[in-house]
Amino acid sequence: VTNGIHILSWLAKDMRDLLGRYLGERWVEAPDNRDLWKRVKRIPDPELWHVRESLRRQLVVYARRRLRESMEKRGMSKSELAVADEVLDPSALTIGFARRFATYKRGNLLFRDIPRLKKILMDVDRPVQFIFAGKAHPRDDGGKNIIKDIVHTIRDADFRHKIVFLEDYDISLARKLVAGVDLWLNNPRRPLEACGTSGMKVTPNAGLNMSILDGWWEEGYNSEVGWAIGVPEIYDDPEYQDEVESNAIYTLLEKEILPTFYDRSADGIPRRWIQFVKEAMTQLLPVFNTNHMVENYTNHFYLNASINWNQCEYDNFAHARAVAAWHQRVLQHWHEVCVTDVKVEHTHDTLGVGESAKITAEISLGTLAPTDIIVEVYYGKVEYSGNIIHGKSEWLSNVESLGDGRYRFTGTLACDRSGRFGCTVRVLNNSPLDIRRLDVAPLIWW
């Protein structure tokens, strides 16, 4: 189950008023209703863009005030304070990066190639600016050093009006940021992002995402709703990964994001950008919200847990005793289970899309029975390192006895797409309680 946000907690008032006019107030009670969110496309582009510009201006005013207050606390001179009143441009593409500064989140990845970043920032025809905010754990020296490096770097005169770091990150500042930015930047080192809900919070405010394909963005991304940094691969060399993905950020800004944002119609509206916004709101908001999250927990876990409990307590817990006895028996003999042979049979060296391969696995069960186990073929795309990614599984349900506690399990595996794919076989226990199949006994892999 993927986390979701409570949309109303992060939604700016101006945007809520706009949504109320075109979606009706019913969406507040049913934010996971896809049909309601489709009404976003009824909002005239000029109206949506007017609200987006208003929220950006409000953010710039807020950032200037917050920056000035921070500088006053440090006792800076009047001339230095005057800088705070001039930072940021209310009409420029505004990109936000705010979160806990753990090292894996790579808060300084944007600054890996300073000359290239300066070239992007100095484009007078397509201005872009960044607002950073966040805190590191008091014992996370690496995170604190990243913040220190960013603050030191943006003192450069070329960055002074284009990049700001706002101190004392809190919920109030977070709400202003996710409401006011046009684009949210998230660049954790894959695959360490658990979910990354910060990017979800810009979507109801008509903001877009540029993110590593990790956490929620790997699930939510497609080319209609935002931008992906790099490809969904895990690199053995972190330094090389940083190099590749920082370059991907610069290239996305130069080739796709800035051209889309500044491609204006005769009335000054970025129609292509607004199209991205509407698709993002329509596709993402009904999925990545707390209502949908709780619904998934309820349907997939809570109701099943309730059913299991009712089964277990029936007849003075007779079923529970039977299940416990089954588990104990299987655990005592699980060491006897082993995969002795696996064969993948198909007519050609290369399997074509639409063709199928026959999978055969010979399993030695000792004193256990075929009904005590599940044999699965685990398959998926193979990355450069040889690992299967985005794996799926299918049961090998046809069983033939070979004698002496040995059995042959067979099934077919259909090839539904092109690419480099691989498969293996695994054995897990067939617990009477579905929820125990992964924790009663360890999986056995071929």
Label each residue of the chain as H, E or C. Answer: CCCCECHHHHCCHHHHHHHHHHHCCHHHHCCCCHHHHHHHHHCCHHHHHHHHHHHHHHHHHHHHHHHHHHHHHCCCCHHHHHHHCCCCCCCCEEEEEEEECCHHHCCCHHHCCHHHHHHHHCCCCCCEEEEEEEECCCCCHHHHHHHHHHHHHCCCCCCCCCEEEECCCCHHHHHHHHHHCCEEEECCCCCCCCCCHHHHHHHHHCCEEEEECCCHHHHHCCCCCEEEECCCCCCCCHHHHHHHHHHHHHHHHHHHHHHHHCCCCCCCCCHHHHHHHHHHHHHHCCCCEHHHHHHHHHHHHHHHHHHHHHHHHHHHHHHHHHHHHHHHHHHHHHHHCEEEEEEEECCCCCCCCCCEEEEEEEEECCCCCHHHEEEEEEEEEECCCCCEEEEEEEECCEEEEEECCEEEEEEEEECCCCCCEEEEEEEEECCCCHHHCCCCCCCEEC
Q: How high is the pLDDT of residue 236?
A: 84
> 178: how many CB neighbours lie within 10 A of its CB?
26
Strands 226-229 and 208-212, how do they pair? parallel
Q: Model-level pTM?
A: 0.81
One digit per residue, the tens of pLDDT, for the chain of length 446 reads: 999 999 999 999 999 999 999 999 889 999 999 999 999 999 999 999 999 999 999 999 999 999 999 888 888 888 888 888 889 999 999 999 999 999 999 999 999 999 999 999 999 999 999 999 999 999 999 999 999 999 999 999 999 899 999 998 999 999 999 999 999 999 999 888 988 899 999 999 999 999 999 999 999 999 999 999 998 877 889 999 999 999 999 999 999 999 999 999 999 999 999 999 999 999 999 999 999 999 999 998 899 889 888 888 888 999 889 889 999 999 999 999 999 999 998 767 788 888 888 999 999 999 999 999 999 999 988 877 778 888 899 999 999 999 999 999 999 988 888 888 889 999 999 988 776 777 778 899 99
Number of residues in the chain = 446
| CB of 401 closer than 8 Å to CB of 359 | no
Of the candidates 334, 313, 340, the residue with the CA atom closest to the CA atom of residue 437:
334
Q: What is the pLDDT of residue 435?
A: 66
Q: Which strands form 406-414's sheet, in the order they lie side by side?
A: 338-345, 356-364, 406-414, 398-403
C-alpha 188/C-alpha 235 separation (Å) is 13
Q: Are 194 and 99 in contact, with CB atoms under 8 Å apart?
A: no
The pLDDT of residue 347 is 67
